[in-house]
Amino acid sequence: MEEAKLTERGRKGGRGAGRSRSCASSDVPCRCQPALKSRMDLDVVNMFVIAGGTLAIPILAFVASFLLWPSALIRIYYWYWRRTLGMQVRYVHHEDYQFCYSFRGRPGQRPSILMLHGFSAHKDMWLSVVKFLPKNLHLICVDMPGHEGTTRSSLDDLSIDGQVKRIHQFVECLKLNKKPFHLVGTSMGGHVAGVYAAYYPSDVCSLSLVCPAGLQCSSDNQFIQRLRELQKSAAVEKIPLIPSTPEEMSEMLQLCSYVRFKVPQQILQGLVDVRIPHNNFYRKLFLEIASEKSRYCLHQNMGKIKVPTQIIWGKQDQVLDVSGADVLAKSIANCQVELLENCGHSVVMERPRKTAKLIVDFFASLYNTDSKKLD
């Protein structure tokens, strides 16, 4: 009888041990399951912490750059944009003078395009237009004398004549005038481009001037009147196109643009930080191009321009009056004018797609090319 009881207990013990060993696959709750779940939860938390930390590093770096070094962020932005658009930066020397430029494509059957930027800008200002220009065109954007990567010398002649001669040296260094090229210029760059076409007619086959300086209009706008008052008072520190604070930068943007947009304070600070080290040069340059020798240089030479010419101007330009377009049209025989509604002085920045289309259409009409083939 006792042996039978022991045997029965043994069977029960065996069945209990079996349940214990197979608890992971049983529907009966087990003490080891909460521990396993805890370990799994901890692994998931660790995974998210690691992933979050990995993402946080670039985000924090961006935020720190935005708050502490906005000027560095702006430079990185231009570098990235050049790379995306396939623009390569190169240097070329004329004796001891260095020119910095960016380019895309190679010379071909169609004329190359040389682009000259405006006062206190640089070659990268054209990137917004380059984005919409065909990739099979040979494009060259050069830093004007004293700007960005091009040599800045206290002995350099910064007058319009002096800048034209420097650009001619650049053209000869690249042998760009082996075949006549299409020349584009805006504001001060348009002034230089127009005079270049008058001085070196065999170099240029066609011309696009975007709200160029250097013209004498029948009446002065408010900006020109203000400049005259500053010249009389010798208050060169207050030239509106040479900001020294974020507030002055905001005012300059409003002066140059028709569209009113709010720029974050940190971006304004970054734009000012980039410019401040160069402001003394900008003042010297501005006084030179506004002097009697240079002020109306394009006006004095526009009758010598013989190549087909395109004029692009914002109707709401507050810096250079749009009536200048009519002045050019009356003096240049083969000239077409495009006036843009709701656009100010910064045509290249405000209407880049439209600017690119106008240049391409003009280019195609001159060289018997279907603009659709310019891809």
Three-class HEC string of the chain: CHHHHHHHHHHHHHHHHHHHHCHHHCCCCCCHHHHHHHHHHHHHHHHHHHHHHHHHHHHHHHHHHHHHCHHHHHHHHHHHHHHHHCCEEEEEEECCEEEEEEEECCCCCCCCEEEECCCCCCHHHHHHHHCCCCCCCCEEEECCCCCCCCCCCCCCCCCHHHHHHHHHHHHHHHCHHHCCEEEEEECHHHHHHHHHHHHCCCCEEEEEEECCCCCCCCCCCHHHHHHHHHHHHCCHHHCCCCCCCHHHHHHHHHHHCCCCCCCCHHHHHHHHHHHHHHHHHHHHHHHHHCCCCCCCHHHHHHHHCCCCEEEEEECCCCCCCCCHHHHHHHHCCCEEEEEECCCCCCHHHHCHHHHHHHHHHHHHHHCCCCHHHCC
The rounded distance, in Å, linking the Cα atoms of 191 and 184 is 10
Nearest CA-CA partner of 147 in 108, 190, 116: 116
Among candidate residues 187, 257, 294, 346, the one labeled active-site is: 187
List residues bridging with 206 in a β-sheet: 182
Nearest CA-CA partner of 294 in 90, 157, 125: 157
The rounded distance, in Å, linking the Cα atoms of 327 and 302 is 9
Q: Is 345 annotated as catalytic? A: yes
Cα–Cα separations (whole angstroms), residue 353 to 39, 239, 240, 359: 57, 30, 28, 10
List residues bridging with 97 in a β-sheet: 94
Q: Is 317 annotated as catalytic? A: yes
Among candidate residues 120, 317, 321, 346, the one labeled active-site is: 317
Among candidate residues 117, 257, 345, 346, the one labeled active-site is: 345
Query: Could you tell me whether strands 113-116 and 139-142 are parallel, antiparallel, or unpaired per DSSP bridges?
Result: parallel
Q: Is 22 annotated as catalytic? A: no
Catalytic residues: 187, 317, 345
